[in-house]
Amino acid sequence: MNRTVLVVAAHTDDEALGCGGTIAKHVERGDTVFAVFLADGVSSRPDAREQELSARIAAADQAHKILGLKDSFMLGFPDNRLDTVPLLGIVQKLEQVVDEVQPQVVYTHHNGDLNIDHRITHQAALTACRPIPGSPVREIYSFEVPSATEWNTPSSNPFIPNIFVDISKHLGTKMSALAAYELEMREAPHSRSLLNLRRLAELRGSSVGLAAAEAMMAIRVIF
């Protein structure tokens, strides 16, 4: 049975970084995948210009075609300042997307990331997808984002994966989507370099006997 999947991310590129291979795998299986982005990922930068935002949107469009997303939603909250917005306002906008999409599976950020937008996105996703009677959501997973998940204080909600998605056949698709976000990538040995992102997928895979994997934490799974 085909399922509907929703990726709830803070910024465009987080979906490719955290679960790009998983998205491609869902699409190959015939599932319908949507994504929603809470902030633009650019406007907080001191030298941000309109051209940068346009380039980011164009990169996202290209990446989403590569991954096979059905559609995406941009909520337009201020970048790296989600903590200045009442959580209720974020949740209400996100609930509208959840009501429209009716996902059975949701992927979102780890609540221990260094990036404040990631942490608030996690909280908003769990609030919008709370298990009230009649909710379509049956599974919620959190993913890791290099240069955010591993950079926080070690004692602060460490990322301890207990789900590994085999993306051995989909690593090339993930890397192509990441290449579309060329302006957001960094040179090695930065953890958000293309070289390191490939290495991370191979490391996560080898830890469970696979060629490549994406690591997740199961937040809630209803059988």
pLDDT in tens, 103-127: 999 999 999 999 999 999 999 999 9
Residue 101 has pLDDT above 60, yes or no: yes
Which residues are bridge partners to 77 per DSSP? 39
CB 141 within 8 A of CB 217: yes
C-alpha 173/C-alpha 68 separation (Å) is: 10
pLDDT, tens digit (0-9, with 9 covering 90-100), for 48-65 = 566 777 888 999 999 999
What is the chain's mean pLDDT, rounded?
94
Whole-prediction pTM: 0.95
pLDDT, tens digit (0-9, with 9 covering 90-100), for 118-171 = 999 999 999 999 999 999 999 999 999 999 999 999 888 999 999 999 999 999
Those residues whose C-beta lies under 8 Å from the C-beta of residue 72, and which sit 6 or more positions away, are: 34, 35, 36, 37, 60, 64
Q: Does domain 4-221 have CATH number 3.30.70.20?
A: no
pLDDT-derived band at 95 (thresholds 50, 70, 90) equals very high
Buried-exposed string 183-214: b where 16+ CB fall within 10 A, e elsewhere: ebbeeeeebbbbebbbebbbebbeeeebebbb
